[in-house]
Chains A and B, each alone.
Chain A
Amino acid sequence: MTSGTEHELMSLLRGELAAEEARELRARMRREPELAADYRRLEQTWNRLELPPPSPVPPGFTGRIMARVRSEKANGSLSWSSAPNWVRATAAASLLAGALLGIGVGRSWPTADASPSSEGAIAGLKVSSGEELSLAAGYWNLIVDSTTGGEPEGRP
């Protein structure tokens, strides 16, 4: 069966099919027993779907909601959830921009495995023995270099 026919059967069941189309589909079902059987199956499934009657509205329900609303109003508009959409969007955009900036800076920052010929901070990341240092140790060496004239005196 085509999906178009399935949709028509469903619409017929729901009473959403135009009168003329409904007549044509019923006539087709009389000619095609398989189509009629499919319709009956759908109808049976539909009718078997039953849920219990909904529970009544509990007493004081409106009052509880209004108490929350009044409390929200009393607290003002400082909470994140009650902030207008533009405030949330601006905050989200700022966070994203900050994160992207952080990533950009991080990627361009000299790393510990840079070539030994690099200057400045990179040079401070390696000791003469070739042992690799942590970034913090590199910083320490740079500070020591600048204060002692180039002779590392120790690591933090």
Chain B
Amino acid sequence: MATESVTAPAVDPGWEALAKVAAGDVDAFASLVESHQERLLRLCERLLGDTEEARDAAQDVFLKAYRKAADVRPQGQVYTWLYRIAVNHCLNKLRRRKLVRFLRLDAPADEDSPTFDPLDRAADPASSLEARRRWQATRKAIAKLPENQRSVLVLVRFEGLSYKQVAEVLGITEGAVESRLVRAMRRLEAAQEAESSRVSSAEGAR
């Protein structure tokens, strides 16, 4: 009988750690946290636009992952699974934030998320100011996107995930990822054009 050479997909060692956690070895979870905390924190920060809130959210995400360790079926990469928990968690937080503002009736019309005060890493004050202006504009534009477009944009543009990976994280088809991304880009294009004309008319008025 001829033997077929089949390349088995590499098994993510994170699944082994999760299996140990499910068996009661809590310390095995620490290695998983250390391997993924940086990218999860970054994702939460990108989605929520707030560093402190992102830190709390990332902690909650890891805790949820710990609780689900016994139920999860190893499939693909662990980070895809963690990303899925993180995206759902952050979108829920954003929905709650909107609801709270709606109930308090004090929602600023154009500020969907709290102040994003990034660390200043620019070399000189002028370029620092310019970078802040660009970051602010991007943050505002992203905050105005519908949730399903926002998550696709963040995962593709800022996390560098492929359509296939995003489809896995969000549990949608690659076609849906493409469509949402195109729609998000068209909205951002319009927002950037509006911002440009606003700036030029303001400069013209001076």
Contact = CB atoms under 8 A, between A and B. Distances in A.
Interface in B176-190: 178-179, 181-182, 185, 188-189
Contacts of B54: 55
Contacts of A57: 37-38, 41
Interface string A67-104: 01110110000000110110000000000000000000
A65 B59 contact: yes
Given A6-B182, A45-B192, A66-B33, A53 B71 contact: no
A45 B41 contact: no
Contacts of A10: 178, 181-182, 185
Given A69-B63, A81-B67, A52 B179 contact: no
A7 to B, nearest CB: 5
Interface size class of A (residues with CB under 8 A): 35 or more
Contacts of A66: 26, 29-30, 33
Interface stretch (B11-19, B86-94, B131-139): B131-139
Contacts of B181: 10
A127 B131 CA distance: 81
Interface in B31-49: 33-34, 37-38, 41-42, 45-46
